């Protein structure tokens, strides 16, 4: 089974819709009480297992998490572009269309890297297909604020995934909380999004078991203990994440070079190292290629056709136009390995220690921590 059941009580897709429903006083999947203001902080890369394994380094987070014990499944692929879109739209990747770190546009044949430029290859409004929670909030007369680094302000990803929210650049987590407080003070109802990327970046560079990663976690925990108190008594706060992380040793990185028979008939390579999506020419012998890949990876990964991925339900309900974006062959890593396309993989990417994107519980399960009025 591609997407094996995990013991998570919620979906990441439930989080922001529940916040909006709480602002309206409606029942919601998280059981959140009515509030006048709601904030969601995404700690990039803070998986449930990552936090649980290092609870002693995150006392505020651990204590707040234990009060309710909620966990969410981010789904597949467990990568930032897909998961954040799932969070902000409330639907899974097969519906919103951002089904990978990168995908091939069926019309142009070009690769769309979702964290870089989309246009002119694809149009923002049709490539990200779903209405955002911020747009739904605006329709109800509720304003929204999204925050992140200044360099993200005009990115295509921000424009498509945070549609309906005002974006404000911030340099620190404390500045984001101050901005959220000022925003909430200016409106009777409001929804805010906050984002902290340092844990993910440190994990990629040094590993999620490294001293550097633990130091980042300790920094976050100490700052959150102070920042959370800034918000008012009618403000609910959720701290969650977009994915977890696994460390991959250099010896477990598979680099496929241009002359490899594993690239026979391959015209494009997308996805991420933990879940490559491979696109074939019209005359490629797909069944033979799938067999060759299965022989190469053994029990380290599943090698699936597009049809198998779609029918598995891993992406939720898959719209026909989204199905064509999925690779003809998708390799889903289950052991701590990563697979690279030698001719195109940047040296920096091949050097990454902490990785994610696949279907393991460690990558898919994230904490949902209630604080503020929801504590």
Predicted pLDDT at 104: 98
Predicted pLDDT at 1: 55
Cβ atoms of residues 87 and 325 within 8 Å = no
Q: What is the CA angle 352-152-88, rounded to 5?
A: 90
Give the pair of three-digit tokens for residue 105.
């546009």
Predicted pLDDT at 366: 98
Domain range annotation of the chain:
10-246+359-372, 250-354
Give the pair of three-digit tokens for residue 291.
């067999």
> What is the mean pLDDT for each group of 10 consecutive residues in the chain (375 residues)?
72 98 96 98 98 97 96 97 98 97 97 95 96 98 96 94 97 95 97 97 98 97 90 94 98 97 98 98 97 98 96 94 98 98 94 97 97 96
Helix (H, G, I), strand (E, B) or coil at 4: coil
The CATH superfamily assigned to 10-246+359-372 is Alkaline Phosphatase, subunit A (3.40.720.10)
Q: Alpha helix (H) ranges present in the chain?
A: 15-23, 48-53, 59-66, 80-89, 93-96, 124-127, 133-139, 156-161, 173-185, 198-206, 211-227, 286-297, 306-312, 320-323, 347-350, 361-364
Predicted pLDDT at 33: 97
pLDDT tens readout for residues 305-349: 999 999 999 999 999 999 999 999 999 999 999 999 999 999 999
Q: What is the CA angle 208-314-311, rounded to 5?
A: 155
Predicted pLDDT at 8: 72
Give the pair of three-digit tokens for residue 244.
């977890």
Cβ atoms of residues 188 and 38 within 8 Å = no
Predicted pLDDT at 212: 98
Q: How many CB atoms lie within 10 A of CB 138?
A: 16
Cβ atoms of residues 126 and 98 within 8 Å = no
Q: What is the CA angle 114-115-116, rounded to 5?
A: 90
Domain 250-354 has CATH 3.30.1360.180: yes
Ramachandran area for residue 141 (φ above 0: left; ψ -120 to 50: alpha; else beta): left
């Amino acid at each position: 089974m591609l997407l094996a059941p995990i013991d998570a009580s919620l979906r990441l897709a439930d989080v922001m819709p529940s916040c909006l429903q709480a602002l309206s006083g409606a029942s919601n999947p998280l059981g959140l009480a009515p509030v006048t203001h709601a904030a969601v902080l995404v700690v990039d890369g803070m998986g449930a297992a990552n936090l649980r394994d290092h609870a002693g380094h995150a006392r505020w987070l651990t204590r707040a998490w234990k009060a309710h014990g909620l966990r969410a499944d981010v789904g597949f692929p467990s990568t930032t572009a897909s998961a954040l879109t799932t969070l902000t739209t409330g639907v899974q990747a097969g519906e919103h269309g951002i089904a990978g770190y990168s995908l091939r546009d069926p019309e142009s044949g070009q690769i769309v890297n979702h964290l870089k430029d989309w246009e002119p290859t694809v149009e923002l409004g049709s490539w990200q297909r779903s209405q955002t929670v911020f747009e739904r909030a605006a329709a109800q007369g509720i304003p929204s604020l999204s925050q992140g680094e200044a360099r993200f302000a005009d990115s295509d990803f921000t424009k498509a995934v945070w549609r309906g929210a005002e974006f404000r650049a911030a340099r620190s987590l404390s500045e984001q909380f101050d901005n959220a407080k000022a925003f909430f003070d200016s409106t009777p109802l409001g929804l805010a999004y906050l984002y902290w990327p340092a844990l993910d970046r440190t994990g990629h560079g040094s590993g999620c078991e490294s001293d550097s990663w633990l130091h980042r976690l300790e920094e976050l925990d100490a700052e959150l203990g102070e920042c959370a108190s800034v918000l008012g008594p009618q403000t609910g706060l959720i701290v969650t994440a977009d994915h977890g992380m696994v460390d991959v040793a250099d010896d477990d990185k598979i680099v496929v070079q241009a002359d490899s028979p594993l690239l026979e008939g391959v015209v494009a390579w997308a996805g991420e190292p933990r879940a490559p999506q491979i696109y074939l020419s019209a005359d490629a012998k797909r069944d033979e290629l799938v067999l060759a890949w299965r022989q190469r990876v053994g029990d380290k990964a599943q090698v699936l056709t597009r049809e198998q991925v779609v029918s598995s339900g891993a992406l939720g309900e898959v719209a026909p136009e989204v199905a064509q974006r999925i690779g003809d062959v998708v390799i889903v890593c289950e052991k701590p390995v990563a697979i690279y396309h030698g001719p195109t993989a940047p040296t920096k990417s091949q050097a990454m220690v902490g990785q994610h994107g696949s279907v393991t519980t460690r990558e898919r399960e994230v904490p949902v921590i209630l604080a503020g009025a929801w504590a």
